[in-house]
Copies of this chain bind each other. A is one copy, B any other.
Amino acid sequence: MEKKEISAKYFFYPMPATLVGANVRGKPNYLTVAYCGMVNANPPFISVSLNKQHYTNPGIKENKTFSVNIPSADMAKITDYCGLVSGSKVDKSKLFDTFYGRLKTAPMIKECPLNLECKLLQSLELPLDEVFIGEIVAAYSEEQYLTDGRPDIKKIKPIVFSTNDKNYWKIGELIGQAWNIGKNFKPKHIGKNFKPKHIGKNFKPKHIGKNFKPKQ
């Protein structure tokens, strides 16, 4: 079938559904956010992009802290609700049990299986949105969502969001393991002596982060 140009909208799949927390005017506020993802592996930096008109933004700037809370599929209704109503009109501080961690001012949702506590490093102004880049200083969970001390996606049951059709989805069937299933892939166009297993084994990323001083 022929490729055709469709348009230049934000046709990106799949997206996460998260609840971004910040103290605004001294109270916890939680906003549903799909424009959120990792931007640096180590130290772990996360990016959250919010429409400039959101009630949350001044709170992040004031405290220089925020949280990214991962709701489970059974929290889909309340997650959607937090995206329907603005903190400027509705007090969302009592929707959840809030707890605080190391940074003291990043409110986190006890009911969410996973919470990422973030220190604001940098913000970036785009036409409609504002990008907040934060360092994840700590993560919080409960024993029931962990396997060998680490978060387990099958226990967390995060929500996938799809744009355009505007739907929330569960995580489905396991396809296979990353950095693994490709090892058996035999590219037709590349020589038969190619051994992907041996490539990259000695790759050691330099630790660049030591003297890194992000803008405050």
Q: Which A residues form the contact surface with B (CB < 8 A)?
A: 1-17, 34-47, 49, 51-53, 68, 70, 73, 76-86, 89-91, 94-95, 99, 101, 110, 114-116, 122, 124, 126-129, 131, 133, 135-144, 146-147, 149-153, 156, 158-162, 164-185, 187, 189-190, 194, 196, 199-200, 203, 205, 208-209, 212
Contact = CB atoms under 8 A, between A and B. Distances in A.
Contacts of A73: 175
A129 B40 contact: yes
Contacts of A126: 39-40, 45, 133, 212
B160 A5 contact: no
Interface SS of chain A: helix, strand, loop or mixed? mixed
A8 B85 CA distance: 31
A149 B11 CA distance: 12
How many protomers of this protein does the assembly include?
Answer: 2
A28 to B, nearest CB: 12
Nearest to A153: B162
A179 B166 contact: yes
Given A44-B8, A168-B175, A174-B167, A114 B13 contact: yes
A52 B101 contact: no
Q: Give the 8 A-B residue pairs with the shortest CB-CB distance, closest first.
A: A172-B172, A80-B182, A127-B209, A81-B182, A94-B189, A170-B172, A37-B37, A13-B158
